Amino acid sequence: MIRSELIQKIADENPHLYQRDVEKIVNTVFEEITAAMSRGDRVELRGFGAFSVKKRDARVGRNPRTGESVEVEEKHVPFFKTGKLLRDRLNGK
């Protein structure tokens, strides 16, 4: 499912809301999650999962084509851990 499909599904299930309002709500939710993660905060949606940021230390990697050593800088990457309800639902429990 992509963002536009999510917006359409929410709009279809809530006919009392305008499409532009649903779009604004969805965009605000994603913007807030992104802003919290960029500050290094953890975002938890009970039953769904938790978004957090993990730090990857600098390391020496290899160029797969030449085998040459390459310095890889430290970086921060998004991480998602599923919640128990989502995990159980995916596994048919």
Distance CA 69, CA 85 (A): 44
pTM of the predicted model, to two decimals? 0.78
Beta strands in the chain (DSSP E): 43-45, 49-56, 59-62, 69-72, 75-82
- Residue-level pLDDT at 20: 95
Q: How many domains does the chain have?
A: 1
> ∠ at Cα 66 (62, 67), nearest 5°?
35
Domain that holds residue 63: 3-91
Give tens-digit pLDDT for 18-68.
999 999 999 999 999 999 999 999 999 999 999 999 999 999 999 999 999
Distance CA 4, CA 22 (A): 10
**pLDDT reported for residue 59:** 95
- CATH number of the domain bearing residue 71: 4.10.520.10
Distance CA 35, CA 56 (A): 20
* Per-residue pLDDT, 36: 96
